[in-house]
Amino acid sequence: SQQGEEDPQALSIQEGENATMNCSYKTSINNLQWYRQNSGRGLVHLILIRSNEREKHSGRLRVTLDTSKKSSSLLITASRAADTASYFCATSRAAGNKLTFGGGTRVLVKP
């Protein structure tokens, strides 16, 4: 069964707005990762945050991790139409090990 739950399941915003999605998980983790998938294609790795980190930035992406609440958030700032995709969080209990995926958030950015 999937460990992670993501909300919202779907998000529709205007270009230029920020998009925030959340991920919760159930067990202890080594790291949490966020991926993007366009139209059922392969996954693109966005960012990895380790269990001893609380916040990480990469370009327009900001990820937070709260291990006490077993939750993470992904913020996409100044969204663009090209950000339209499904976003998945995935947890790993050991570095380089198998991933357990959340249900995903479908983001639609309207031009």
- Give the interface segment with another protein, choosing from 13-21, 60-68, 70-78, 101-109 (CB under 8 A): 101-109
Instruction: Annotate each residue in 61-100 with x if it binds another protein (CB under 8 A) or - if it does not, as one string.
Output: ---------------------------x-x-----xxxxx
Nearer to another protein by Cβ, of 60 and 106: the residue is 106
Of 26, 45, 54, 110, the residue at the interface with another protein (CB under 8 A) is: 45
Closest distance of CB 26 from another protein, Å: 15
CB 102 within 8 A of CB 7: no
Q: DSSP strand E in 2-104: where?
A: 5-7, 10-14, 19-24, 31-37, 43-50, 55-58, 61-66, 71-76, 85-92, 100-101
Residue that has been written with the tokens 């006490």 in this structure: 68
Return d(Cα 36, Cα 109) in angstroms, integer.
Answer: 14
Applying CB under 8 A, which part among 18-26, 40-48, 50-58, 68-76 lies near another protein?
40-48
> First CA to last CA across the chain, in angstroms?
36
Enumerate binding residues for another protein (CB under 8 A).
Answer: 2, 33, 35, 40-43, 45, 48, 88, 90, 96-104
